[in-house]
Amino acid sequence: MDAWSSGQSKAMGSVLWESVIKYLELMEADYFDLEYYDETNLQCWLDREKPILKQIPNTDVEFRFAVKFYTPDPGLLEEEYTRYLFALQVKRDLKTEALPCSDNTLALLASYIVQAEIGDFLEDEYLDESYLSLHKFVPHQSPDLDLKIMEYHRQHIGQGPSEADLNLLDTARKVEQYGIRNFPAKGYYKDIVEFFFESRNECKGFWKKCIEHHAFFRCHTVKKLPRNKTRVVSRGSSYRYSGKTQKQLMEYVRENYVKKRPFERFIWQ
């Protein structure tokens, strides 16, 4: 979402979010969110309860649709479309080195991506690993890695895109760093463990992410409290997670599920 008018930018974050979800026709939306980077290059999630202009460093900011809550079990995702979007996130995480893993695991993950994108391995056409030349999975992809991907790809004959996506996610969830983002901090061990960040914004950003993940995965419901805009003295942040919890989302999908609709896949480089 690279550009938008000044009139739109005066709206609340929820307006932009709801427009994106409506465009994507996404039911299991609460696994995802819109991320951007502030003036210090700190990753932030769009706050739906605040005006957009009060959050972003400038009106040229780029929002990116991304997975926010990584499901520990892809079987909990009801729609094929949602699993496809998760698969795209895994592909992005590999390319940005946000999902470090062994070469064998990387090759297996990449082979499922290839299977979903181009289909079965063709013995008569794919005589060597050069057919993978247009598929880049990591910044420094070696010929040896391509050979491993080729060997795994040969084993997936018969898997359709949906099955390949599911196998990709089932493999990815077992990787140690799956769904984990590291934050630079100093750890001090006393009676309790304390973490110190370089700036207030880094500390607050990490704290908000902790609140969101606890609420989404651990709580059945989250009580919505209105933000008090008349307070003169603040005794701490009033931030609350405002989306559905995982339990609420699963119940919502079961109650509102409709027949699966077709969608167009594309090759993301």
Q: What pLDDT digit, counting tens, does each position of 78-133 carry?
A: 999 999 999 999 999 999 999 999 999 999 999 999 999 999 999 999 999 999 99
- Identify which has the larger pLDDT, 71 or 243: 71
Range of weakest confidence among 121-125, 236-240, 250-254: 236-240
- For the record, the structure tokens of 227 come out as 């933000």
Q: What percent of the chain has pLDDT over 90?
A: 71
Confidence of residue 193 (pLDDT cuts 50, 70, 90): confident
Q: What is the pLDDT of residue 195?
A: 84
2: pLDDT confidence band, cut at 50, 70 and 90?
Answer: very low
Sign for the pseudo-dihedral over CA of 245, 248, 253, 256? negative
**In 76-93, which positions are buried (b, 16+ CB within 10 angstroms) versus exposed (e)?**
ebbbbbbbbbbbbbbbeb
What is the C-alpha separation between 243 and 241, in angstroms, rounded? 6
Res. 235 pLDDT band, cuts 50 70 90: low
pLDDT in tens, 209-224: 999 999 999 999 887 7
- β-partners of residue 34 are 65
Report the pLDDT value the prediction gives residue 237, as an integer from 0 to 100.
Answer: 61
Q: Are 171 and 159 in contact (CB under 8 A)?
A: no
Number of alpha carbons in the 13 Å side-chain half-sphere of residue 31: 25
- Residues 31-82 have pLDDT tens digits of 999 999 999 999 999 999 999 999 998 888 999 999 999 999 999 999 999 9
Average pLDDT, the chain: 89
Show the domains of the chain with their CATH numbers: 71-178 (1.20.80.10)
Question: 23-27, 63-67, 90-94, 253-257: which has the minimum mean pLDDT?
Answer: 253-257
- Locus of tokens 């979402």: 1
